[in-house]
Amino acid sequence: MTPPLILEPTQPADACVIWLHGLGASRTDFEPVARMLQQRLPTVRFVLPQAPTRPVSINGGYRMPSWYDILAMSPERAIDRPQLEASAHQVLNLLDEQQAQGIAPKRLLLAGFSQGGAVVLHTAYIEADRPIGGVLALSTYAPTFDDSVALSDGQRAIPLLSLHGAHDNVVLRPMGRSAFDKLEAAGVEAQWREYPMDHEVVMEEIDDIGDWLAARLA
């Protein structure tokens, strides 16, 4: 297993963001974004894990970095749930490692783009029942959420920032909005940001992420 890329801040770390890349990408995908954010947040460590390389059914079985197999594209996604759950437990282990290094639970945050976002939503709001500082869900969806999401008090206390492109043709806007709406209805402190973009990340979005992280970690 490829170890995560760890970006240490310029000052002693007192917070950490674990950030998962999307399908077919790598642990370096969000390194430039993380380094930009560290210029504003000089005590935040970023941990960028690498998905295993495995066959992806919707891509004809071609092997690529993937947090879980996608079996079909409809109705929203048919997925290999045990693989997603295994990836979620990998994230939980990273949270444990950061806490063992002295980062307080409320200063540990999860972020994920596209498929990586699906994993962090599952980790925070289904698998975990522990205090963490928040979740950043970028251009993503929640294939493991039922029509209504039953949360514990601890899960309900995890704030969410959902960010999505109005013109996203990979993870359609309604898929992202559905995940957001379910968590908001369950009582999560949830915010939605939408941008005139496709399946990508833009500078305005990075600025909004920086504002949100700064507020959470103040």
Question: Would you name the residues annotated as active-site residues?
Answer: 114, 168, 199
What's the maximum distance between 2 C-alpha atoms anywhere in the chain?
A: 46
Question: Secondary structure of the chain in the HEC alphabet?
Answer: CCCCEEECCCCCCCEEEEEECCCCCCCCCCHHHHHHHHHHCCCEEEEECCCCEEEEHHHCCEEEECCCCEEECCCCCEECHHHHHHHHHHHHHHHHHHHHCCCCHHHEEEEEECHHHHHHHHHHHHHCCCCCCEEEEECCCCCCCCCCCCCCHHHHCCCEEEEEECCCCCCCHHHHHHHHHHHHHCCCCEEEEEECCCCCCCHHHHHHHHHHHHHHHC
Of 108, 159, 165, nearest to 141 (Cα)? 165
Number of neighbouring beta carbons within 10 Å of residue 153: 8
Say which amino acid occupies 178. Answer: S
